[in-house]
Each structure stands twice: as structure tokens, then as C-alpha cells.
Amino acid sequence: MAKSKQQQEAHGIGQVEKQLNNQMEAAAEIKGQSKLDREIKKTTHRQIDPSNDLSK
């Protein structure tokens, strides 16, 4: 069964994100990471605490 256009686009976006992440990791291995890069990566991979709702 064919996937919907939205499913195909979402899958494509996921592939792009994975490729960009792989490129970022490869570049970090080659040249090392700056402190800012490490902080950004740490922030993007942290777990969100649902009990800490900032919208209130």
C-alpha cells in the first residue's frame, strides 16, 4: 500500500535529520567540538520533564 504524501515527507525529514547528525558527529571527530557545540548537543538530547510545564 502506498504511503501518504505526509508520511513520505516525514520520513524524508527524518532521513535528512539523521544525515545532518551524522555529518555533525563526523566533523566533531575530525576537528573536535567547541564548548558551544557541546552545550547545544547536550541541550537537544536532554529529556523533557513533563512536570516542569513552563506554559503556566
Q: What is the pLDDT of residue 56?
A: 54
Closest of 16, 24, 15 to residue 44, by C-alpha? 24
Number of folded domains in the chain? Answer: 1
Cell of 29: 571527530
CA dist., res. 12 & res. 2, Å (int): 15
In a domain, 22, yes or no: yes
CA dist., res. 35 & res. 43, Å (int): 12
In a domain, 30, yes or no: yes
H helices present in the chain, as ranges = 5-31, 35-44
In a domain, 10, yes or no: no
In a domain, 38, yes or no: yes
The pTM of this model reads 0.45
Cell of 22: 551524522
Domain limits for position 23: 17-42
pLDDT by position in tens, the chain (length 56): 457 777 777 677 888 888 998 998 888 888 877 888 778 878 877 776 666 655 65
